[in-house]
Amino acid sequence: MKNSIFAILLFVSLAVSAQEKHLKNIHQLTFGGDNAEAYFSFDSKNLTFQCNNHAWGLKCDQIFNLDIAKAAADTAYRPPLISTGMGRTTCSYFLPGNKQIIYASTHLGGKECPPNPEPRADHKYLWPIYSDFDIFVADLNGKIVKTLISSPGYDAEATVSPDGKKIVFTSLRNGDLDLYTCDIDGKNVKQVTNQLGYDGGAFFSPDSKSLVFRASRPTTPEDIKEYKDLLAQNLVMPTAMEIYTCNVDGSNLKQVTHLGKANWAPFFTPDGKKIIFSSNHQSTKGYDFHLFMVNLDGTGIEQITSESYFNAFPMFSPDGKKLVWSSNRNNHGTHDTNLFIADWVK
């Protein structure tokens, strides 16, 4: 009863503001810790996501399977762990049939969480590109069924095409961070991008024919040297990225945004005509991220979120009715990032 009352009060407190007109009936699904990269099952009923919640005894990100109906009804609901609990994990995604997931993990390189990058004297923000990341298939009980993608260096950021036939992922196998595709069984690996810079976070269009992704494109000698020097240390600096699209085979590559700063976490709208993404291009502080929507040609940019200072990882449900994303809203002054779901209003 207490949980039900709390859920009602929470729902009222999260009433959609006039500036978030595309979001209706916002519900908070997690409460505490860092919760991110939540992606729908093919039947729109579950989410697989990564979480680092110290209250759950976690030391770094692990993968969980969240029942959306249960989470919306009970704030005390704790989703089951479906990664091994070893190493660090990231980027999970349901496979067709909703009985298996793919995700990246470092556990073959060691059972402990790999260390975070040391703080830099110049205070630059960096992402670690752990060389032990490989991509695995697991059932919903956490049993690893197979190693899907494994090569020397980083293999991660895998997502599945809506038609269930292809997987796209990021790999360092050629010495740079490029996109690759493979068949759903991990065979027939093909390189998609080949320009210098970090290409990652790719998703398929609703018709499974195109990709949208984030990319850095260092061009000056100084930027190129910095990118290569950091990459040699398994690091990238994600503070200058734009949104790109291309065909699944890499043809028809186009830069969508020219906004400056960090534009990332893109996803096609259900009709395939626009892209929703996270950006800090309007921020004066560097970390004020909101969701925006833009036409495929880069015109008609529209701000979607206005609450809190971090909103990212948007994904539409396969039926096109819901949007899930991560946000710092309603965290009562803590650093918690939680999952939120809302009805999508066109």
**pLDDT of 90-123, one tens digit each?**
999 999 999 999 999 999 999 999 999 888 888 8
- The pLDDT of residue 18 is 63
Cα 108 to Cα 130: distance, rounded to the nearest angstrom: 12
Q: Which residue in the block uniquely carries the two structure tokens 């093919």?
A: 42
Token pair recorded at residue 14: 């999260």
- The pLDDT of residue 16 is 44
User: Under a CB-based contact definition with an 8 Å cutoff, are residues 25 and 15 in contact?
Assistant: no
Report which of residues 74 and 15 the model is more confident about. 74
Q: What is the mean pLDDT of residues 186-205?
A: 98
Q: What is the pLDDT of residues 236-247, one digit of tens each?
A: 999 999 999 999
Strand partners, 17: none
Whole-Å CA distances, 186 to 16, 136, 158, 191, 232: 42, 10, 11, 13, 27
Q: What is the pLDDT of residues 261-306, one digit of tens each?
A: 999 999 999 999 999 999 999 998 768 999 999 999 999 999 999 9
The pLDDT-based confidence of 124 (bands split at 50, 70, 90) is: confident
Cα 53 to Cα 159: distance, rounded to the nearest angstrom: 24
Q: Residues for the chain: how many in total?
A: 346
Q: Which residue in the block uniquely carries the two structure tokens 């990882």?
A: 313
Report which of residues 1 and 212 the model is more confident about. 212
**Which residues have CB under 8 Å from 64's CB, separation 6+?**
48, 49, 50, 51, 79, 80, 81, 82, 83
Cα 230 to Cα 172: distance, rounded to the nearest angstrom: 13
Look up residue 337 and give its DSSP letter: B
What is the percentage of the chain residues whose pLDDT exceeds 90?
Answer: 90
Q: What is the mean pLDDT of residues 20-47?
A: 98
Token pair recorded at residue 289: 């991220």
The pLDDT-based confidence of 10 (bands split at 50, 70, 90) is: very low
Q: Please, what is the average pLDDT of the chain?
A: 94
Smallest CA-to-CA distance from 45 within 28, 70, 26, 23 is with 70
Look up residue 86 and give its DSSP letter: S
Q: What is the pLDDT of residues 223-232, one digit of tens each?
A: 999 999 999 9
- The pLDDT of residue 121 is 87
Strand partners, 178: 171
pTM of the model: 0.93
